[in-house]
Amino acid sequence: MTAQLEECYLTLEDQYEEAGLQRVYGDIEDSDEKLLSVYMYEERELIKEEGVQRKAAFQIESPPEEDVLNLQLKEQLEKTVNQLKVAVDHIKNELKRARSALSSENTILEECKTIKTGFAKKLAEAQESGNSQRLPNKFTEKSRRLRAEIRYTSGELIKFADTYFPSHAVDGEEGNEDAAQCELKYIIEDLMNKGSNTADLDPFIELQPGEYWTPYIETLVKAGIAVYHPQDARKICLADFRL
């Protein structure tokens, strides 16, 4: 320890001599005094170093405000781009489904056009041959039987509806003896008339408030007799039993 102290002290004295300064304490023989001089020198050096470090710390430049704004803008743009990518994927899927549905509808349309062309051709041939007003007796008899079966079935349907689905007060008028009544048979009749009217391309009937009882409508839908309009729940039509 004494040797190290002596070496440190001599180094300190040499530095002072090289700098042209006076020696720290001249010739000091006492080791404690030498140690004290070394500590004092180190303390001064540390204080100087601390001052230098403090000054350097205050001189650290913060990033320009423009760079911060650019980083924030870049982050916002990345978020927007990611959101747009998700939206584009969703739109692509919807477009794919729409194209598939359009293709199916075009196929059905072409088939309908083919059937219409065939019927028109047959009608023209019948008119040219003079047989358009003279239906075969077999066809006339078959048509008569079909009409009779329809009348019978309609009568049985009305009896069934009167027996198991009696008239009921319309929505919101339950308990009112003078309230308007809703009858299931009349709803079915309206659906059949609307569906069989070839001059009207819209087979749907609109459910007017105060003219029907919701449970009867739900009964027809659940039984597969009627279906809701795909875009308007206030409209129903007779189910297409040909499908």
Domain residue spans of the chain: 2-58, 165-243
Q: Which pair of structure tokens corresponds to residue 212?
A: 């029907």
| Contact of 209 with 193, CB cutoff 8 Å | no
Phi-psi map region of 182: left, alpha, beta (phi>0 left; psi -120 to 50 alpha): beta
Separation CA 243–CA 240 (nearest Å): 6
User: Consecutive sets of 10 residues in the chain, 243 residues long: mean pLDDT of each?
Assistant: 55 59 49 67 78 69 69 88 88 87 86 85 75 58 81 81 84 82 85 72 85 88 88 87 61
Q: What's CA 179's distance to the chain center, in Å?
A: 43
What percent of the residues of the chain are helix, what percent strand, and what percent coil, each to the nearest 5?
65, 5, 30
| Contact of 207 with 217, CB cutoff 8 Å | yes
Q: Please give the pLDDT value at position 132.
A: 46
| Distance between first and last Cα of the chain | 108
Q: Please give the pLDDT value at position 228.
A: 92
Q: Please give the pLDDT value at position 16.
A: 57
Confidence (pTM): 0.39
